[in-house]
Structure 1
């Protein structure tokens, strides 16, 4: 057996092991009794707008990805793109393999349309980068609202501004096709990150948080960075470790912070599951469908 096959087998095992270890570390730092009490006493009515905000967030994110696909000339329809995006969520959350949601999108689109692996990979990669930029934008803005880091805000904002200029220059200079619709895609990035925070706000309300939401928003955004690294299954565990560290740094309620993170994960998991039951059979057909003759959305 060659090294590549060994790694393909070992990689999911390591992901599961890391996830279990991370969750164990988290639960040694929190009071499980307090976490259970928070969920037991939660006002479930607040979870309705939380789920609604999360669903809207995923739809908006799929539109951001659609614009990047249009940048490389893929005639994919809004409906097909959303279907593919939701299936990508499933692969990211439930299959700890080397494929992942982004890999699944690349394979399907390469088979379905007259395109190359490099083009589809570029679209998916820069879509992720737009989301990462939006996350940095919000973190920079939140530094103004948090007394603990306000003294560093000028430096944070200056670094973000300079980084943004360099980012756009590199994108426009070396990846000109991906720089099309720059304002639209990056505004959508801010919108999706804001909708995630709206979901967090409703979860905090459900769990009875009586203090300022801003610090919880900040550590949630920072934990999103940790979940981007493919060390765990769907980001589970990695996000919670970052949440516990952030809560300790800012003097927040660790039990509440972890409860918010796990609630967010459960909402994500529920949406991915509902999508797979509806869409899996159609997307897994052996014969790729003809390209969609869809009208390009306005921008």
Structure 2
């Protein structure tokens, strides 16, 4: 079992534990660490062999784990590109979320949606399971083509409500409330979940590796792949659905109470609300489900049941 997954098993059993770990692992300063420092940390973790359920007491080892969690992929043992590491997600996605939430002209909104879904799709692709295999085609090539199609589709669907409203000159306050406030946020949340499910579809089509409690790989399971993708998609929907909806709801009350009277003040308040909600929701959404996922033996395929007597098996959920 990879050191990252071993750490999640030992330290991330509850939501609160996972939340505290993600708060530390999302520190942007970790992006400044060099590749040599990351490799040294991984080497230290390999030398500090622990049982999968034993808590980490040494502070140096714990810091090495945090650097590993934020920089290395548990499937490939490779260092993740800087722009797609978890600590980079907030600083890079925040301006894209703000631009997408402005609800400008349809063409501008489509461009904002395209940039937003491009980044989140690439992030998902690089942080999913990379051990899936298929003899008929390259999984990586399929995921790239799926990603391009998903980005275009999600951008078009996301920009359509504003296009529809402008095309038919809907000036009715109720229509604008439904499209801009009530429909827009859940739609983008659902599209975010859809991009995760589509780009990581090879995981539930071909399966991902499952391990016993000692970290030994016992087989490849489609059921585990489906569970991993579903959990990640739901966490992404919760992240962006809340980030787009809650600031819009709060802005409605700000505008009603006239706390901010000028357009510039309203824009500043909106940006502050989006920043606050996204910053708070990122570790929350990542903590909803364990990174080292657990699946019951009864839910696995017959060929895996015959190869182990373990009641529970483990897998990498991805981000």
Q: Same fold (TM over 0.5)?
A: no
Please report the TM-score for the alignment, with normalisation by the length of structure 1. Answer: 0.30
Larger strand share, 1 or 2: 2
If asked which structure has higher relative contact order (CA below 8 Å, sep 6+), I would say: 1
Larger helix share, 1 or 2: 1
Please report the TM-score for the alignment, with normalisation by the length of structure 2. Answer: 0.28
